[in-house]
Amino acid sequence: MDFFCRVTLALMVITFLSAALSQAHPGFNFGWGGHGGISGGYFGLFPEFYQSSCPQVDDIVVSVLEKAIAKEPRMAASLLRLHFHDCFVQGCDASVLLDDSTGIASEKRSVPNRNSIRGFEVIDEIKAKLEEACPHTVSCADILALAARGSTVLSGGPNWVLPLGRRDSRSASLSGANNNIPPPNSTLPNLVTFFERQGLDEVDLVALSGGHTIGVARCTTFKQRLYNQNGNNQPDATLDRTYYYGLKSVCPRSGGDNNISPLDFASPARFDNTYFKLILWGKGLLTSDEVLWTGNDRRTMQLVKNYAGDEGLFFEQFANSMVKMGNIRPLTGYNGEVRKNCRRIN
């Protein structure tokens, strides 16, 4: 047998084995030609992952989201935040959804998540409907990614092609949640460091911060700005005065920690670029919002200005950065599992 025939036969065998494996494990794919690294493709992670095993997955997710967001528009932001808080801990593996159990200390108890992270019941409902339609097929990690995209679109924001095929972790990291999620009083250098740890750059930082165009924050997350920003019992000098007095009425010096204020008071339920305009006017709610403009970093300042002036540009980069964030250390192939109940391992 000559060389050409041997190569042809080898390729035929590979094609046959790949097809056989795909039939035995719908949605599984070798991902020939994929690239490693956070910005490239991943073994088993691609948009058509459920094309044969659960083609109705997105319709089911969106149908649940439509009802949940119509009932409570704030839920869109909560689900977007849930995906963010998942990916930044030990990759996009749905570890944030796990409850306390033997051997698992839930990330829900961490400082960034305690008394503030929400949306678990919506994820539970999506999972239950998917288990009815496509048993033991769609991972909780993919549900988080799909819910984040759906919530953005239903709030008026951009859509994007979403790589799928993540698997669910069998562990959580309470310490990781405490140490890897950027706090709301972060300085700009701290924010850059938090994002760099995940393989994300300053463009991703500013674009993903734009997710604060929807949702609210608790008084405890911005109280320092109002009363003691620099340890001198004075407010943050970068705050617009009128905005400052309005926030004081919502967030008193003593108590009221769970009182809420919109991150974008001009259009709190609509995904748009108003968030960036407010930052330019000294009306960013959190320190971590305003420092994108006041942190003396020419690049972040220019990005804020660009996104404030061009909503389409912001939408395009937000979509790109969401895909990039969603690709942080996913479990694929035979790693992890597909949980039947998102709150506990199988």
What are the catalytic residues? 85
Is there a binding annotation on residue 107?
yes
Residue 109 contacts residue 176 (beta carbons within 8 Å):
no
Token pair of 20 as six digits = 């056989």
Is there a binding annotation on residue 136?
no
Is there a binding annotation on residue 250?
no
Is there a binding annotation on residue 213?
yes
Is there a binding annotation on residue 261?
no
Helix (H) or strand (E) holding 297: none
3 state DSSP class of 182: coil
Is there a binding annotation on residue 264?
yes
Is there a binding annotation on residue 151?
no
Which residue's entry shows tokens 């008071």? Answer: 265
Nearest residue to 85 via CA among 271, 211, 190, 170: 211
Is there a binding annotation on residue 209?
no
Is there a binding annotation on residue 89?
yes
**CA dihedral in degrees (70, 338, 96, 128; nearest 10)?**
30
Residue 164, number of CB atoms within 10 A of its CB: 24
| Region of residue 239 (left: phi > 0; alpha: psi -120 to 50; beta: else) | beta
Q: How far apart are CA 293 and CA 116, in angstroms?
A: 26
Query: Annotated binding residues for substrate, as ranges?
Result: 182
Query: Annotated binding residues, as ranges?
Result: 86, 89, 91, 93, 95, 107, 182, 212-213, 264, 272
Query: Annotated binding residues for heme b, as ranges?
Result: 212
Query: Annotated binding residues for Ca(2+), as ranges?
Result: 86, 89, 91, 93, 95, 107, 213, 264, 272
